[in-house]
A and B are shown apart, each in its own frame.
Chain A
Amino acid sequence: MRLPGERRFWVIIGVIILVITLGAFSLQGIKVKEMHFLESVLYQILRPFQKIVTNVNQSINDYWTLVTNLKKVKLENQDLKKRVDQLELQLVDYNKITLENQRLRKLLAFKELVPYKTVGAHVIGTTPNNWVHNLIIDRGTTDGISAKMPVITYNGALVGHIAEATANTSRVVLITDVNFAVSGRVQKAESRAVGVVRGEAEDQDIVLMDLIPWDAEIEEDDLIVTSGLSENFPMDIPIGKVILVIEKDFGLTQQAEIRPFMSLAPIEEVLIITDF
């Protein structure tokens, strides 16, 4: 005897079981090779379109800004020229100090601070999701990018880390994402307190620093940098400035709200640290 709709029922059950199994795989971090291939193919197809839209959008914006702010741009240009002159003067001083620093390091046999190896990339899009905003950049495994590499802005502020890399594109998880966490440290002489910096889902403009010891010295305007305790991040990458400190866990720990130096809107180019 056959029940009506029996076959359909089993097909639906089968599909659900398959989907849940694959979902569980991806939660466990187990990579299904075919999925990775499909992702790669889809991104390859989407990439040119994303690039075109981003470029067109940017040139329209640039043109519009130029047209509406011509006078302002001219004034700004004058100011900037002055500023360059000032900075050049400072650079002479800086070079002198650097040389002195090198000499003293040699004298004391200190290890030299090696700058990170970086690769530059353009942001070509974000993921189409209202809850999680990941960036898509135009560099991938062919440029030496792999998962978990730290991503910074051109002025060195932490942006996030690579979640996944395909041949020519990668997905970047931002520090404001709930799936992101890194060990942070207060950067000042009298306090070296560490805590866990993580994203906050409800406010994309701040990140939270949790689990700071109750007696740690931390206050508004303190600079927070990466501590180097997280394996995948070098130390001393600036994250942001503290805007609020509150007691947590009945006074056992403190929590700080941090305004990150990187802000989501104007990111157009990033650097990926490939080696440190």
Chain B
Amino acid sequence: MRKLIYAGILFIALLMQSTLLIHYQPLGVIPDLLMIVVICGALLKGSKFGIQLGLTAGFLQDIILGGFGTNIVIKIFVGYLVGNLEGKIFKQQVLIPVLVVFVMTFVHEFLFLLLSEQLIFSISPLWALQTVILPLAVVNAIFTLVIYPVLHVLERRLYY
């Protein structure tokens, strides 16, 4: 049941990301809703669930982008890494996931650049940081403020 619901959420996130958010890009970047869902899910349910979420999210994204592998590897890694925090933080506290998403955006995007050989040789790290990664981290963090509470309420519903 949980897996089915999360699969639905991931799909809706992909839909939003590839339609609405492309037309109305906040701060000129497209927020990575799939990554936010992976991180929030991993924080709530642990690293095993994080890996499963990362696999599904990465798979969906890679299919859309045509390439295969980059997003799966990164999102599994992110899901696993964040999942290790489960049990060590207060789940009621919304600022922790916001902070985690902010930090993990940097990890996620740098890994993406490292794994795309065409990009890594043609852009300077400073430019990437200033025009894409930093605004993206801010926008992702803001979106987490909405997504995390929704998932948190959902988890409580599923549990009881």
Chain A residues engaging chain B, CB cutoff 8 angstroms: 8, 12, 15-16, 19-20, 22-26, 32, 35, 38-39, 42-43, 46, 49-50, 52-54, 57, 125-132, 134, 163-164, 171, 178-179, 200-202
Contact = CB atoms under 8 A, between A and B. Distances in A.
A209 B18 CA distance: 31
A161 to B, nearest CB: 13
Interface of B, helix, strand, loop or mixed by DSSP: helix
Interface residues of B, number: 41
B122 A200 contact: yes
A184 B61 CA distance: 33
B66 A202 contact: no
B77 to A, nearest CB: 9
Given A42-B63, A201-B122, A128 B68 contact: no
B18 A164 contact: no
B22 A128 contact: yes
Interface stretch (B95-103, B113-121, B149-157): B113-121
B18 A125 contact: yes
A25 B62 CA distance: 14
B30 interface: yes
B68 A53 contact: no
A15 B23 contact: no
B4 interface: no
B122 A46 contact: no
B19 A53 contact: yes
Contacts of A134: 65-66
A125 B19 contact: yes
B73 A57 contact: no
A131 B119 contact: yes
A201 B116 CA distance: 12
B124 A57 contact: no
B143 interface: no
Contact of B119 (A20, A126, A201): A201
A202 B73 contact: no
Contacts of B23: 53-54, 57
Contacts of A22: 68-69
Interface string B10-22: 0000110111111
B70 A126 contact: no
Interface in B107-151: 109, 112-113, 116, 118-119, 122-124, 127, 132, 136
Contacts of A24: 69
A128 B17 contact: yes
Contacts of A132: 65, 116, 119
B39 interface: no
A23 B20 contact: no
Contacts of B63: 35, 38-39, 42
Contact of B18 (A12, A19, A50, A201): A50
Contacts of A126: 22
Contact of B136 (A8, A130, A178, A201): A130
A23 B18 contact: no
A42 B60 contact: yes
B64 interface: yes
A130 B29 contact: yes
B55 interface: yes
A202 B48 CA distance: 37
B72 interface: yes
Contacts of B32: 130
Contacts of B60: 42
Contacts of B119: 131-132, 178, 201
Contact of B69 (A12, A26, A131, A201): A26
A53 B118 contact: no
B76 interface: yes
Contacts of B127: 202
21 contacts: A15-B51, A15-B55, A19-B69, A20-B69, A23-B73, A24-B69, A26-B67, A39-B63, A46-B18, A46-B19, A46-B64, A50-B18, A52-B19, A53-B23, A54-B19, A128-B21, A129-B30, A131-B132, A178-B119, A201-B123, A202-B124
